Structure 1
Amino acid sequence: MLKDRLYYQDAYVQNFTSQISKESQDLDGNWYVVLENTAFYPTGGGQPHDTGTINGIEVLNVEEVDGEIRHTLAERLNSTGDVQGIINWSRRFDHMQQHTGQHILTAAFVELFGFQTESFHLGKELCSIDLAAESVNSEQLEAAEKLANDIVLKNLPIQTKWVTEDELDQYSLRKELAVTDEIRLVIISDFDYNGCGGTHPSSTCQVSGIKILSTEKQKRKTRVHFVCGGRILQQLHSKNAILSEASRLLSAPEGGVNDAVEKLLAANRTLERTLKEAQDALLKYEAKELLTKKDNEIVKQVFIGRTMQEVQSLARMIVGLDDNVIVLLVLENEDRLQYVAAKGLNVNLSMKQISDIARSVINGKGGGKDDFVQGGGERTVAAQELLDKMVECVL
């Protein structure tokens, strides 16, 4: 029965002795053992599996398959007698803190605002719950976090109880249960009653604390990212290190980092405008230079390593300076060829004809209007050969 498993009998068991009832390999060739009983928690209910060792061999994964708990090992065990299992306690207790913190935070959102939790994820660094609410404002987040931490500080007992389906009416469950056999309730006195198969500490104070970090939209739901217990200190250390480094780089006190960043961003926007103006001036000069080299009212040029945006701007500038000119430009970058064709106001030829020729030569794609087209494709020919084909089309 489920309730006989060691991790349900006592979530604080860190080592145990058992015997092997099965040893085999999975479809990937990994060795696993099934024990007569185990304190290793298998992945389930949003909680990741335990790690540790069995007779000194690393346990890589624990999962329940067809009613048996498989312990995937780093190598074959080769043992016939009693085996010693040791749980990675820091990982287990972290999971206990995060999972119980989720229960408390979820119940806080329900009690204060009626927001139900639709899913829970316990990650390596962060946890998250998806609330059945399209939006949650900062005041609601703060209120839920405060209530959750008040429950933590009250040091309320956390009890687990196995009940039958007929006995469920005696408890104010937060949500309906999908299981009907071997129902396990996790009860935080006078606050939360919830069906759960995870591991939990014996009192709320052992969660230590709950901190909401951020939210994000998930279609018609709101995902709330949070951490509990020891992970709060990890987040504090990480963010403090980032803040200290930012303070050093900006030569500003930590309290003045925001102001320093705003000044830096303003200066950067000014530099970007100045740079854009300088680039536009250079392009205008280049456009005039190219126009002096026109041949039969055609400006033609091959560029290497330029951006398509620059080449398009050049073409527009040239036809803006001369209503009678046709501009044919080819751009070569690594294994790709691109082209631009443009015409002045007084030219009657459609640039789409040139685009058709260019696309066929380089197996490419392109588009545009009669006065301006662009496209690109494979480097099936030299850039100069593509340009020559475009010039032939015009002539």
Structure 2
Amino acid sequence: MNNKLYYQDAYIHTFTARILKQEKDEAGNWYVILDQTAYYPTGGGQPHDTGTIMGQEIVDVEEIDGEIRHYLKSPLPEGTGAVTGSINWNRRFDHMQQHAGQHILSAAFEHLFDYKTVGFHLGVDNLTIDLETDNLTADEVLKVEKLANEIILENRPIEIKWVTEEELSQYALRKETKVKEDIRLVIIPEFDYNGCGGTHPKTTGEVRAIKILDWERQREKVRVQFACGDRIIKLLGEKQKVLLGLTKHLNAPEKGMETAVKRLLENDKRLEKELEQTRERLLQYEAKELLAKQNQLVAESFQNRTIQELQKLARLVVAEDDSSLVVFASVNDSRLQLVCARGASRTENMKKLISDVLPLINGKGGGNDSFAQGGGEALVSAEQILDKLITMIN
């Protein structure tokens, strides 16, 4: 553990080290192994640190077969011996805040309601824990959040202890440790005792605050989304910006925003319904007009009509006159859509009719004796394929 400087001092910003080796992995990505490092590798739900080594950007840090690999965008010059590493401190401290906050929140859930944490994810924008319960109420969330922030405000120390497996019995661990040697405990006295290999601040006060943002049931567990420290300030700023923009657009105060949005959505649904009814009436009018113009055989070409609209129009035509037969074609970009339909008093097979022309456009289709549709490449014009269909009908 002596070469893992992040365990000796989580607050370290820069360090020097010697290159032990530099090579490519199986995927052809360059990495270096150092005799010591302050870069935390991905593990335990916490992402890796970033930064630079001799000005080269680190894109990943992984511990593989006991070695910590520092993946670089490009290799360091040959013959490089001693190097300087510089940690991306904002990212490191964010991870310290979030990880310590997770310990506090998980312990609060267990203290108050005996809900154990069985999963943890720390992402760039998302921070979650999975609780071993199938239900979580708003009242429970408020109580847990209150306790967690009280622990933060008390500014309790966050202690690190290395213990043996035999010494574990001295501590009331929140969960059983997975490792059997080099066991690292993260301790908030009289509140939380937990085996953990992540980076943490020295006191709970540095977490600053915890806010539960949302929760949802997933199978037999509940996933809780939350934020800690500087992330809360960032989220508040982002949400406030959105809220202020909405107050201007909707001409409503912040407290009346929910009502204003509901009213807007209700109006939108009403307008959508009215528009759909208007479209239906227009299609009915169009169906009658096509019948009046072409009598029983209605053949028409279109531009940019959806297959759904063609189907609806064809059904309206044959419903208006059960002795009619409809063939529609529409070119949409590089696609050609076809619809064939017949009224109840006719006997032509629409599925066979459309199947006979689909090879001309490398198309596919389906349907039944009275109604069929298909589509393919626009290798011929809509008018040409209509002429072919009319010839086959006659």
TM-score normalised by structure 1 residue count: 0.91
Give secondary structure in 2 for the equivalent of 1:186. strand
Q: State the AA in 2 paired with 1:243.
A: L
1:179 aligns with 2:179: yes
C-alpha separation in 1, matches of 2:388 and 2:137:
61
> What's 2:34 paired with?
35
C-alpha separation in 2, matches of 1:255 and 1:158:
40
Give secondary structure in 2 for the equivalent of 1:213. strand
> What's 2:123 paired with?
123
> Higher mean Cα deviation, 7-16 or 379-388?
379-388
> What's 1:88 paired with?
88
C-alpha separation in 2, matches of 1:342 and 1:96:
67
Q: Deviation of residue 75 (structure 1)?
A: 4.3
8 A Cα contact 2:16 2:82, kept in partner:
yes
8 A Cα contact 2:5 2:37, kept in partner:
yes
Rate the CA distance shift 1:107–1:392 in 2: closer, same or farther, 3 A: farther
C-alpha separation in 2, matches of 1:170 and 1:354:
83
C-alpha separation in 1, matches of 2:192 and 2:2:
21
Rate the CA distance shift 1:80–1:352 in 2: closer, same or farther, 3 A: closer
C-alpha separation in 1, matches of 2:238 and 2:71:
33
> What's 1:367 paired with?
366
C-alpha separation in 2, matches of 1:164 and 1:61:
31
> What's 2:155 paired with?
155
8 A Cα contact 1:99 1:200, kept in partner:
yes
Same amino acid, percent of matched pairs? 52
Q: Deviation of residue 31 (structure 1)?
A: 4.2
Q: State the AA in 2 paired with 1:320.
A: A
C-alpha separation in 1, matches of 2:133 and 2:330:
50
C-alpha separation in 2, matches of 1:115 and 1:390:
69
Q: State the AA in 1 paired with 2:155.
A: N
8 A Cα contact 2:208 2:229, kept in partner:
yes
1:49 aligns with 2:48: yes
C-alpha separation in 1, matches of 2:76 and 2:331:
60
> Higher mean Cα deviation, 234-243 or 374-383?
374-383
C-alpha separation in 2, matches of 1:343 and 1:137:
58
Q: Deviation of residue 53 (structure 1)?
A: 2.8
C-alpha separation in 2, matches of 1:239 and 1:332:
45
> What's 2:382 paired with?
383
> What's 2:256 paired with?
256
C-alpha separation in 2, matches of 1:10 and 1:368:
71
8 A Cα contact 1:52 1:58, kept in partner:
yes
> What's 1:324 paired with?
323
Q: State the AA in 2 paired with 1:260.
A: A
Unaligned runs of 5+ in 1: none
Rate the CA distance shift 1:359–1:136 in 2: closer, same or farther, 3 A: farther
Q: State the AA in 2 paired with 1:35.
A: L
C-alpha separation in 2, matches of 1:222 and 1:392:
64
8 A Cα contact 2:6 2:12, kept in partner:
yes
Give secondary structure in 2 for the equivalent of 1:119. strand
C-alpha separation in 2, matches of 1:334 and 1:356:
22
Q: Deviation of residue 77 (structure 1)?
A: 3.6
Rate the CA distance shift 1:371–1:71 in 2: closer, same or farther, 3 A: same
> What's 2:72 paired with?
73
8 A Cα contact 2:3 2:35, kept in partner:
no
Give secondary structure in 1 for the equivalent of 2:184. strand
C-alpha separation in 2, matches of 1:203 and 1:96:
11
C-alpha separation in 1, matches of 2:137 and 2:20:
53
Rate the CA distance shift 1:152–1:376 in 2: closer, same or farther, 3 A: same
Alignment of 1:203-218 (within 5 A): 203-218=203-218
Rate the CA distance shift 1:315–1:116 in 2: closer, same or farther, 3 A: same
Q: State the AA in 2 paired with 1:190.
A: E
Residues 126-167 of structure 1 show CA distances to partners (whole Å, capped at 9, x for unaligned) of 212233334433233323222222222222221121122222
Residues 81-139 of structure 1 show CA distances to partners (whole Å, capped at 9, x for unaligned) of 54333222211111000111111222222333333333222111221223333443323
C-alpha separation in 1, matches of 2:74 and 2:374:
56
Q: Deviation of residue 240 (structure 1)?
A: 0.2
C-alpha separation in 2, matches of 1:261 and 1:27:
53
Rate the CA distance shift 1:349–1:23 in 2: closer, same or farther, 3 A: closer
Residues 334-366 of structure 1 show CA distances to partners (whole Å, capped at 9, x for unaligned) of 222222222222223342322432444434333
TM-score normalised by structure 2 residue count: 0.91
Q: State the AA in 1 paired with 2:251.
A: S
Rate the CA distance shift 1:369–1:25 in 2: closer, same or farther, 3 A: closer
Residues 340-393 of structure 1 show CA distances to partners (whole Å, capped at 9, x for unaligned) of 222222223342322432444434333334332222233343323332333344
1:230 aligns with 2:216: no
Give secondary structure in 1 for the equivalent of 2:293. coil
Give secondary structure in 1 for the equivalent of 2:40. coil
C-alpha separation in 2, matches of 1:376 and 1:219:
41
1:312 aligns with 2:285: no
C-alpha separation in 2, matches of 1:43 and 1:337:
52
